[in-house]
């Protein structure tokens, strides 16, 4: 047990040392996809797009600042025989995501991710929602060239609003371009 712990600590120290020696890996990439409003009867689904900048400082973790924007769809309902439309939210978010592993280099990569951000939801006739949100999910990285990879992700965004939350399942696809390869 002690030997395993010692080997583990040695591996982490060596890994961190190697990363420092190699320098950070920095990428950037746009992405787009679709948000599905979960258990929300007052707003629809809609496209999401944004930009991410993964920074890999140590071998095990990549930190990825992001910005996202989503135009959620309208809700159409009929009451008393009359049709009504409620405009969906415009959602904007920025924050950072932690990814297990790195996005660039090597072959096909599967990775879990989790993050935290500031979310703002606006629409006419509603008080602005500006709250902390969380995101988590799974991603796949597919190499598409020496410096480029395709990133496909499926996850959940959850904006905490007091005792409740607004949740969105999402699927996105984007590219990651390595600005600094760490060599």
C-alpha distances (whole Å) from 78 to each of 13, 40, 168 are 63, 17, 25
Cα 165 from Cα 168, distance rounded (Å)? 10
Token pair for residue 140? Answer: 């796949």
* Residue with smaller CB distance to other proteins, 75 or 173: 75
String of b and e for 103-132 (b: at least 16 CB within 10 Å)? bbbeeebebebebebebbbebeeeeebebe
CB of 117 to other proteins, least distance (A): 13
The gap between the terminal CA atoms of the chain, to the nearest Å, is 35
Give the total of residues touching other proteins (CB under 8 A): 38
Q: Is 167 in the site for other proteins (CB under 8 A)?
A: yes
Give me the 126-165 binding string for other proteins, x by CB under 8 A, dash otherwise.
Answer: x-------x-x---------------------x-xxxxxx
* Binding segment toward other proteins, per CB under 8 A, in 18-26, 47-55, 64-72, 121-129: 121-129
> Which positions touch other proteins (CB under 8 A)?
8, 38-42, 60-61, 77, 79-82, 84-87, 98, 100-101, 112-114, 123-126, 134, 136, 158, 160-167
């Amino acid at each position: 047990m002690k030997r395993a712990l010692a080997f583990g600590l040695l591996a982490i120290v060596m890994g961190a040392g190697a990363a420092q020696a190699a320098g950070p890996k920095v990428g950037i990439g746009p992405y787009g996809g679709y948000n599905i409003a979960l258990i929300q009867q007052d707003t629809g689904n809609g496209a999401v797009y944004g930009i991410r900048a993964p920074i890999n400082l140590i071998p095990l973790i990549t930190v990825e600042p992001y910005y996202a924007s989503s135009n959620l769809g309208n809700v159409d309902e009929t009451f008393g025989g009359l049709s009504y439309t409620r405009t969906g939210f415009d959602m904007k978010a920025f924050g950072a995501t932690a990814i297990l592993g790195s996005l660039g280099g090597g072959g096909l990569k599967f990775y879990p991710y989790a993050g935290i951000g500031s979310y703002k939801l606006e629409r006419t006739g509603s008080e602005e929602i500006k709250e902390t949100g969380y995101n988590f999910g799974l991603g796949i990285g597919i190499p598409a060239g020496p410096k480029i990879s395709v990133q496909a992700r499926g996850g959940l965004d959850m904006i905490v609003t007091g005792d409740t939350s607004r949740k969105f399942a999402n699927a996105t696809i984007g590219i990651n371009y390595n600005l600094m390869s760490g060599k």
